[in-house]
Amino acid sequence: MKAFSLSFLIALGVAGCETKAPSATASDAGSALSAQTAMGGPVATGAPSMRAVSRTNGGFSQPVAEAPEANDVSGEPPSTGDPLQGVNAGATAPTMVIRTGQAFIEVEKVDPAILKIRQLAAQVGGYITNSSVSGGKDQMRQATIEIKIPSPKYDDAVGSLSSIGKVETVNSQAQDVGEEFVDVTARVTNARRLEERLINLLANRTGKLDEVLRVERELARVREEIERYEGRLRYLGARVAMSTLTITVHEPAPIIGNNPGENPITTALRRAWRNFVALIAGFIASLGVLIPLGLLTFVGWLAYRRWKRSNP
């Protein structure tokens, strides 16, 4: 009888321990989670979260761990809506360079040189935009021609300048506008988004008339900005696609003489004749002084002779 009573008491004790063990485990887990959250430490996302869910097991209420959520399994924080999240960090500005150049060439004759420049422009796929020719009496003839050249053919055109004549100087400049192109493109994108919002507001307008008019004025302003930005983008694209080369050709300067284009011998003879005429004119002009002086001298000489005769 004593052995049976002892066995019964032991069985009751074991059942009580099994019943209290889950509750203690849940209580300890909840206390640890609360303490870790209060300290600001990270919460383990891989373990299942303990929530207020119970299940009846033989009359006892036991907490049950729910299945982890999708975010808990991945371990990644929820999206915060960062506008720069979708931007590629490795994206770089496009290579956009505006190239311009000036060249000065000495040629024997200007007219054949102009024809060669036109042939060069057609050879590289370009065209002439501006041209001017100067020359006349006592002037050295020269011509300035501006041509547009496709950017990939710019170096070929510069290398072919020696076929026109003696190349004196060549200057080339490059302006990188890639940063400006990216900036204006971003402004266009933002302006289009604002335009869509304003259009949606007008489509679903429920406000007063003055509010609708204010939205329409804002929409007109945004569209004007978009047109201005797109015009700037088209201008940059056109300048990048076509380079500018300005070529100035001139005839050689004369060996003797200050004025180009004149014959130095003819100039010297003309100057000698002018000096001779000036000398004659000066002599004639001086007669107005020499003749009165001569007359006075002659009268004085006569008076001296008469006085000498009267006083031997």
**Can you give the pLDDT at residue 79?**
41
% helix, strand, coil for the chain, step of 5: 55, 20, 25
Q: Which two tokens stand for residue 204?
A: 């679903």
**Can you give the pLDDT at residue 25?**
38
Q: Who's near 222: CB < 8 A, 6+ residues apart?
A: 191, 194, 195, 198
Integer Cα distance of 275 and 287 in angstroms: 19
3-state class of 270 per DSSP? helix
CA distances to 135, 143, 165, 265 from 251, rounded to whole Å, are 10, 9, 10, 20
3-state class of 242 per DSSP? strand
Biggest alpha carbon–alpha carbon distance for the chain: 209
163: DSSP letter: G
Q: Who's near 54: CB < 8 A, 6+ residues apart?
A: 61, 62, 63, 64
pLDDT tens-place values along the chain, 312 residues long: 444 444 444 444 444 444 444 333 333 434 333 333 333 344 343 333 333 334 444 343 444 444 344 344 334 444 444 433 433 434 444 578 999 999 999 999 999 999 999 999 999 999 999 989 887 666 778 999 999 999 999 999 999 999 999 999 999 999 999 999 999 999 999 999 999 998 888 888 766 888 888 888 999 999 999 999 999 999 999 999 999 999 999 988 765 555 555 667 777 888 899 998 999 988 888 888 888 888 889 888 888 888 888 876
Strand partners, 166: 106
Integer Cα distance of 106 and 247 in angstroms: 11
Integer Cα distance of 251 and 260 in angstroms: 9
The answer to whether residues 215 and 75 touch, using CB atoms and an 8 Å cutoff, is no
**Can you give the pLDDT at residue 144?**
94
**Can you give the pLDDT at residue 252?**
85
Residue written as token pair 């004196």: 168
Q: Which long-range contacts (CB under 8 A, 24 or more apart) does 217-220 make?
A: 219/195
**Can you give the pLDDT at residue 259?**
57
Q: Which long-range contacts (CB under 8 A, 24 or more apart) does 115-121 make?
A: 116/163, 116/164, 117/145, 117/147, 117/164, 117/247, 117/249, 120/147, 120/157, 120/160, 120/161, 120/163, 120/164, 121/147, 121/149, 121/157
**Can you give the pLDDT at residue 222?**
93
**Can you give the pLDDT at residue 29?**
38
| 206-234 per-position pLDDT tens digit | 668 888 888 889 999 999 999 999 999 99
3-state class of 41 per DSSP? coil
Q: What is the pTM of this model?
A: 0.50
Q: Which two tokens stand for residue 295?
A: 């007359």
Integer Cα distance of 215 and 209 in angstroms: 10
**Can you give the pLDDT at residue 203?**
83
Strand partners, 54: 63
CA distances to 58, 124, 145, 249 from 162, rounded to whole Å, are 104, 15, 16, 12
